[in-house]
Amino acid sequence: MEFTNLKGFKDILPEDVRVWQRLESKVRSVLRSFGFHEIKPPIIERTELFSRSIGLDTDIVSKEMYSIVDAKGKSISLRPEATASVARAYIQHRLYDKNPVQKLFTFGPMFRRERPQKGRFRQFYQINAEILGDSGPRSDADLIILATTILNEAGLSGLTLYLNSLGCSQCRPRFRQGLQEYLSQKTDVLCSDCQKRAKTNPLRVFDCKVETCNEVVSDAPSILDHICQDCRGHFDSLQAYLTDSDIFFVLNHRLVRGLDYYTRTSFEFQTEHPGAQNAVCGGGRYDGLLKLLGGPDHPAIGFAMGIERLIDLLGDVGKGESPAPELFVAGLGEKAEEEVFGWVRDLRKAGIWVEMEYGSKGLKAQMKKADRLGAKKVLMVGDDELASGKGILRDMETKEQKEIDLKNIVNELKKVLQKNE
Ligand code: ATP
Ligand code: MG
């Protein structure tokens, strides 16, 4: 039997990992400047945590979760998103006791049993950033500025920021009812999923990707015409902060996003790039979630950014140069090979990337290997060099060769490689 990875799952090979790491380090440095701290929740939680927070009628919960029943008969699931886990940890460890406003981020894999396609996997990675304990709108603006800064620093341009307000527990139910009435007249053109959604969770119809449903919602009432005065004030202030920060956005009253816990601000960064999944980063305010999960009645806002889609959009820009060793040490003959092993070990202790050949190979083969690795310099040592006490150091770029004293060679090399301890 030949083993391959499962459909929708993929190996991230070393060459790609380098791209990921470069991106990750840029993202981390932006997050640091915004004062965010990393949290690492487990990737498995009680299924109920997700069903209660994300909502039973969402696609994620109703059909996309990887769930198993543990030995005690309890259902546990691989996380389909991170906010629920961060919220649980915030409540469980009373993080708000230390600091009433917590700015947290997490980075890691999410799991959804979706139909695999370009930009859509069953295991994918997200950066999640959450501000817990502030009701906004300044924290809304700050979080959106953070997402914009990350995308800019990553080198991505040409994304459109869509913005909406989903109202609150005061005004949304009224809108929901009006929408339900509107949709009840259109049942025959809705897809079968949306026929159900129209009854159980009508706002979800806005999120449907089926063309006919899209047409139906294009004439649907707009939530922005129905939000209450407080929500309106919050939304207007947010827009003013963004405009003042030179952040361009487009209002989109159909942006509801696939999770039930959102209130007020909802946003998404989308690409117009053809053939790609268009959502790169999505987020929103979730003022009711912490209380819903048994925690304090604290407001919060967060976003999730998909790494694979980001990297895909970066294309060659994200690639950069392959790293290369400073030195390759070629030992020729048994005695030299033994010596070389010790030198390499000691140079590495000084943090210098040095390579060697494990087996016994001739000079030609070793030079070929040094070349393939992209080594900047090669030290050649055979019996003659050991006898004379002088090795040959070759600069692989200029092809220049010079003698180097083998007595105290580790220190000599450190000097040459400009990495003195
Ligand atoms: P979509 O509308 O494309 O399904 P979504 O609304 O389900 O996206 P979110 O739950 O908001 O996405 O997740 C945030 C981000 O995570 C998305 O903007 C996207 O970049 C990424 N993402 C979501 N699902 C996947 C997936 N199956 N494969 C790869 N990336 C994903
Ligand atoms: Mg989705």
Q: Which atom of ligand 1 is nearest to the CA of 119?
A: 29
Q: Is the per-residue pLDDT at 262 higher than 70? A: yes
Q: Could you give the CA distance from residue 208 to residue 196 in angstroms, rounded to a whole number?
A: 12
Poorest-pLDDT segment among 40-54, 155-169, 249-263: 249-263
Q: Given this model, what pLDDT does residue 258 score?
A: 65
420 pLDDT band, cuts 50/70/90, is very low
Which residue has the CA at smallest separation from atom 25 of ligand 1?
120
Q: Whose CA is nearest to atom 21 of ligand 1?
A: 306
CA of 179 to the centre of ligand 1 (A): 25
Collapse the DSSP code of 308 into the 3-class scheme (helix H, G, I; strand E, B; otherwise coil) and give the result.
Answer: helix
Query: Is the model's pLDDT at 405 over the cut of 90?
Result: yes
With contact defined as beta carbons under 8 Å apart, do 327 and 393 qualify?
no
What residues flank ligand 1, with Cβ below 6 Å?
Answer: 81, 112, 114, 119-121, 124, 126, 257-258, 277, 279-282, 304, 306, 308-309
Residue with the nearest Cα to atom 13 of ligand 1? 304
Amino acid code (one letter) for 167: G
Point out the ligand 1 atom lying closest to the alpha carbon of residue 304.
14
Query: Is the pLDDT reported for residue 275 higher than 80?
Result: no
Alpha-carbon span 167 to 145, nearest angstrom:
22
> What stretches of 288-349 adopt beta strand conformation (E)?
300-306, 327-331
| CATH class held by domain 327-413 | alpha beta
For the cut 80, the answer to whether the pLDDT of residue 317 exceeds it is no
| CA 204 – CA 190 distance, rounded (Å) | 12
The burial of 292, by beta-carbon neighbours within 10 Å (0-12 exposed, 13-18 middle, 19 or more buried), is given as: middle
**DSSP state letters, 173-235:** HHHHHHHHHHHHTSGGGS-HHHHHHHHH-GGGGGG---HHHHHHHHTSPPGGGT--HHHHHHH
The CA distance from 72 to 65, in Å, is 20
Assigned architecture for domain 14-171+227-318: 2-Layer Sandwich (3.30)
DSSP for 146-178, written as a single string: HHHHHHHHHT---EEEEEEE---TTTHHHHHHH
Q: Quick: pLDDT tens for 181-199.
A: 999 999 999 999 899 989 8
User: What predicted TM-score, i.e. pTM, was given to this entire model?
Assistant: 0.92
C-alpha to C-alpha distance for 12 and 37, rounded to whole angstroms? 26
> Which part of the chain is CATH 3.30.930.10?
14-171+227-318
For the segment 3-26, the average pLDDT, to the nearest whole number, is 95
User: Ligand 2 centre from 160 Cα, in Å?
Assistant: 18
- Which pLDDT band holds residue 421 (cuts at 50, 70, 90)? very low
Q: How far is the CA of 258 from the centre of ligand 2 (A)?
A: 7
Which residue's CA lies nearest to atom 29 of ligand 1? 120
